[in-house]
Amino acid sequence: MATPFIQFEGITKRFGGVTALDDVSFTIDRGETLCVVGESGCGKSVTALSILRLISPPGRIHAGEVLFKDRDLLKLSESEMRACRGNDIAMIFQDPMTSLNPVYTVGEQIAEAVRLHRK
């Protein structure tokens, strides 16, 4: 059996005393697509941001692991995670007005990201 492309296993994420994710698990195999749907505030964005470790304190993962290509992203140093982000795994944010610069074409912005990570 092939190793999952990404495995989000038993993640519990808290912001201070508030639990945002409680024992969330899913697996995505290579070539698969996962669609996460739900009402506003149910944890969709927190789940995606947790994969990339993009949530600042007081948000903290209290349990679980995020395996990507057999590496636990939660155990990587910040410099290792920075090298992984954008190079191996990335996120397309849902609000283009805050994610993209309207002065440049989308192609120029994607090319810039590739140049930064691939030299």
Instruction: Please say whether the beta carbons of 73 and 84 come within 8 A.
Output: yes
Q: What is the mean pLDDT of residues 46-58?
A: 89
- Sheet of 6-15: strands edge to edge? 18-28, 6-15, 59-68, 71-72
Residue-wise pLDDT for 91-117, tens only, equals 877 776 777 888 989 899 888 878 877
In-domain check, residue 1: no
Residue-wise pLDDT for 66-86, tens only, equals 999 889 999 999 999 988 887
pTM of the model: 0.74
pLDDT band at 6 (very low <50, low <70, confident <90, very high): very high
User: The domain spanning residue 39 has which CATH number?
Assistant: 3.40.50.300
**What is the model's pLDDT at position 28?**
93
In-domain check, residue 114: yes
Q: Which domain holds residue 106?
A: 6-118
Instruction: Please say whether the beta carbons of 52 and 28 come within 8 A.
Output: no
| Residue 24 zone, left/alpha/beta (φ > 0; ψ -120 to 50; rest) | beta
Give percent of the chain with pLDDT exceeding 90. Answer: 44
Instruction: Please say whether the beta carbons of 24 and 65 come within 8 A.
Output: no
What is the domain count for the chain? Answer: 1
In-domain check, residue 65: yes
Instruction: Please say whether the beta carbons of 25 and 11 come within 8 A.
Output: yes
In-domain check, residue 10: yes
**What is the model's pLDDT at position 39?**
92
Q: How far apart are CA 1 and CA 53, in angstroms?
A: 28
